[in-house]
A and B are shown apart, each in its own frame.
Chain A
Amino acid sequence: MDVSAMIPELLSALPLTLAITFTALIAGFCLALIATTLRVRRVPVISHLVDLYVSYARSVPVVLQLFVAFYGLPLLVALFGSEDFFSPTIAAMVGLSFYHGGYLSEVMRPAYLAVDRGQHDAADSLGYTFRQKITRVVGPQAVHFALPGYGNSIIYLIHNVALVMYIGAADVMATAHLIMERDYNQYQFETYLVLAVIYSLMCLVAWLIVRFFELRSPMQAPEATTTTPIKNELIASV
């Protein structure tokens, strides 16, 4: 079994994996922005619902979230009387977007709170609206705090994209399984090693991109800031 024959075939499924990743990245980011806004503004009932959503995204295994999306979405769509148009790929995108949004919201909120209290007060006292405060004062500083956590969450998203195979999306993992079965399951260990390398490389690229932005960040941390450094979760989320 030469690995060189296997790699092009595996890479042919890479666009789908990347498509799912990027959709989840963008949709998750929007979701996280909305969720974080609702949470920090403490809108009465809604903020509790959003809290529940965040704890759903963080405390339920991603596989289970994917299955819930896969079986739950058609039901939701049927309620509104339209056709079931959910392929596994779309269900995977939606499921992972919700996961990423919830996870990212818990990166953004501490970053927002980590911005020096005085800055919030100053913006408020100058009569800034919430939007102005976010875009002009707090947001740019919070980005700096959020970047390391954001890098981690992208890496965990890439890890979790490996799970979409279980609801039937034809990503790199699923292709690898096809290849293994075609070869009568002789080279499973080797195939998984190749997969491990592919995923590591994807993570490495993501990490390098985030690192680039971290180094370019204009607020190259004046070391003696009084703000407490926010804690980034060190541990992978599954």
Chain B
Amino acid sequence: MFDTDILLPDTQEILGAVPVTLGMAFLIFGLSTIVGSIFALIEYRRVPVLRELIMAYKIVFKGVPMVIVIFLAYFGLPPAFQFLFSLLGINFNAHETPNWVILVVAITGCVAAFQSEIIKGALNAFDTGQSDAAHSLGYTGGQLFRRILFPQVALTAIPDLTTSMMVIMKALSLGFAIEVVDIFAQSQLTAALNYYYLEAFVIAVVIYMVIAYIVTQIADRLERALRVRT
């Protein structure tokens, strides 16, 4: 039956995994935003061949479940790295790549496809009249980006980026299949030691919901603070 005495020690143990999970989530978020922005820019500028390649990439990563991508990365990345390193003449045993690196690469690959879509949407919402105005005022490309394009695009993208942050948090839970310990995996480990399965999972559920609540609150505040009042 449901045992309430075990909740407190279990909670402490599972909370220990929160910083690692958040750290990995932020790392993936940063990387996938960068990759996604590059993809979005290529599509926005309509670069010939690269554009079709990115389309294919997106279709592939939309159709394949993330678990399978993670497993494919787990078995496919080390040999690929090994091959690359040997090609470059670096002596490094890629089969010792830590599992969390593989997980980060796999989830970044998945999420980048979606991030690019989000950023492309934000770019399309950008009013081109403003860039014409900036050009007529003699702004350079860098100035245009820094002073006009970026602030608006970033603001438009905030709600969707929040969702993708939450998706990354959730996707990390698939890491337990390749022995990366996040909140979910920690709750499973804790439960395996004392057999209080349901209790540990309920704690994990609460932790996830609290994190989701905090993240959305922060994003809402940020958006309200940054929006230009007209």
Contact = CB atoms under 8 A, between A and B. Distances in A.
Interface residues of B, number: 46
A180 to B, nearest CB: 10
Interface stretch (A60-68, A114-122, A139-147): A60-68
B71 A236 contact: no
B67 A193 contact: no
B75 A234 contact: no
A173 B67 CA distance: 10
A74 to B, nearest CB: 9
Contact of A64 (B76, B163, B204): B204
Contacts of B69: 196
Contact of B110 (A64, A71, A193, A236): A236
B111 interface: yes
Q: Identify which of B76, B202, B205, B209 gathers the most chain A CB atoms within 10 Å of its CB.
A: B205
A230 interface: no
Contacts of A160: 65
Contacts of A134: none
Interface in B165-180: 166-167, 170-171, 173-174, 176-177
A106 B131 CA distance: 36
Nearest to B196: A71
Given A61-B173, A64-B208, A234-B160, A189 B201 contact: no
Contacts of B188: 67
A147 to B, nearest CB: 17
A235 B167 contact: yes
B63 A67 contact: no
Given A189-B75, A199-B63, A236 B114 contact: yes
A192 interface: yes
B102 to A, nearest CB: 13
A191 to B, nearest CB: 9
A156 to B, nearest CB: 9
B68 interface: yes
Contacts of A59: 166, 170, 208-209, 211-213
A33 interface: no
Nearest to A66: B201
17 contacts: A55-B212, A59-B213, A61-B171, A64-B173, A64-B184, A64-B208, A71-B197, A158-B65, A162-B67, A163-B174, A166-B177, A189-B72, A193-B72, A199-B63, A238-B66, A238-B170, A238-B171
